[in-house]
Copies of this chain bind each other. A is one copy, B any other.
Amino acid sequence: MEPSSHVGKVDFKRAVILAEGSFGLFTSKTAIGLVRYRERDISCIIDSTKSGRTSREIIGTGDVPIVSSVETALEFDPDALVIGIAPPGGSLPEEWRSIIVDAMKNGMNIVSGLHTFLSEDPEIMENARRYGVRIWDVRRPENDMYVAHGIAGDVDSLVVLTVGTDCSVGKMTTSIEMARYAERKGHGIKFLATGQTGIMIEGDGVPADRVISDFLAGAIEKEILKYGDRDCIFVEGQGSIVHPAYSGVTLGILHGCAPDYMVLCHRLDRAEFKGFGGRIPPIDDLVELYERLARYLNRDSRICAISVNTWGVENDIARERISGLEDEMGLPVTDPLRYGPEKLFSEIEEF
């Protein structure tokens, strides 16, 4: 890690989100998350294919203007450029490099959730020093090699973890909606972000998928102990316990936070793992499996509700299917974005 004042956390107030060519409902998770949950700190979005429109016209939320370039973004006096898209192939495309350098030249700090760290790129860092700006690689974990002790279940806080039937089913959204609801009800809360978008929204967290696997449960446990004086900690889960590539991340977080309650997140229209194929197992099977694994570390742990993502499903049909799932599972079910998160708390006695 570069021990430099040009590397580290960036606290933005008027950020530009780079989503060139890809701002849309299914193509830019980071951009959507930031517009939905941190809109007041976002000044505009760069996507030349949609310039002149607003975020609401494209994703149904926020009044963030869309512009065509860094140059046109300057009228908003931006303080940071947030990379809101993933590069094809993993390495930084040349055209992005020039956009990033251009942003730095105009005094913007850079916020990146890429696996490839910008702070390890000589050209980027040379420009950061030249223009006196800062690079925040959101995915760079603290490197303190703390190994979990299996004691997260001992804190007084109520720990609520979102778990999933797959990736990209609404775990972050559900955790944030629940955290904000609990806060409105007067509880002292912490949203423990574990993915790059959640970390950009909250300003801190554990980049779980980037942590060395020996220290993953430890990194989560450490945060639980740190916020153990709050009434509730809402932990963003990752992946799925049966996901071919990411199940280890899922279990490391689960055992690291030893949750009192879990909310199972699911997309109504998803039958196969996104981008991997293979059928997602039945929901009741997953409920039982998550509870079983959680109880080794917190014996009263249980799934208290199911959060469904009903995007694209007509209202009547969504309600009918939610009601059907409730009957089938014997658990409260709702879409927290569409109908509010209150129902997800109905079996948590502290609420």
- Inter-chain CA distance A182–B186, complex, in Å, is 64
Contacts of A292 in B (CB 8 A): 289
User: How far is the CB of A211 from the nearest CB of chain B, in Å?
Assistant: 6
Contact A252 B248 (CB under 8 A): yes
Is A115 an interface residue, CB under 8 A from the partner?
A: yes
Contact B244 A149 (CB under 8 A): yes
* Interface residues as binary, A244-261 with B (CB distance below 8 Å gives 1, 0 otherwise): 111111111101000000
Which of B208, B217, B243, B245 interacts with A246 by CB under 8 Å?
Answer: B217
* Interface residues as binary, A132-149 with B (CB distance below 8 Å gives 1, 0 otherwise): 000000000000010111
Which of B213, B241, B278, B293 interacts with A213 by CB under 8 Å?
Answer: B213
Contacts of A244 in B (CB 8 A): 148-150, 217, 255, 297
Is A216 an interface residue, CB under 8 A from the partner?
A: yes
From 59 to 87 in chain A, residues with beta carbon under 8 angstroms from any chain B beta carbon are: none
Closest Cβ neighbor of A276 among chain B residues: B150
Interface size on A, residues (CB 8 A): 41
Contacts of A248 in B (CB 8 A): 213, 216-217, 248-253, 255
- Inter-chain CA distance A277–B153, complex, in Å, is 14
Is A155 an interface residue, CB under 8 A from the partner?
A: no
Closest Cβ neighbor of A279 among chain B residues: B296
- Inter-chain CA distance A242–B115, complex, in Å, is 29
Contact A149 B245 (CB under 8 A): yes
Is A212 an interface residue, CB under 8 A from the partner?
A: yes
Contacts of A213 in B (CB 8 A): 208-213, 216, 248-249, 252
Q: Which 5 A-B pairs have the closest CB atoms?
A: A150-B244, A248-B252, A209-B214, A148-B245, A242-B296
Interface residue ranges, A against B (CB under 8 Å):
90, 115, 145, 147-150, 208-214, 216-218, 241-253, 255, 273, 276-278, 281, 289, 292-293, 296-297
Query: Could you list 13 examples of A-B contacts with CB < 8 Å?
Result: A115-B145, A115-B214, A149-B244, A149-B276, A150-B276, A211-B212, A212-B212, A213-B252, A217-B245, A217-B246, A217-B248, A241-B293, A242-B296
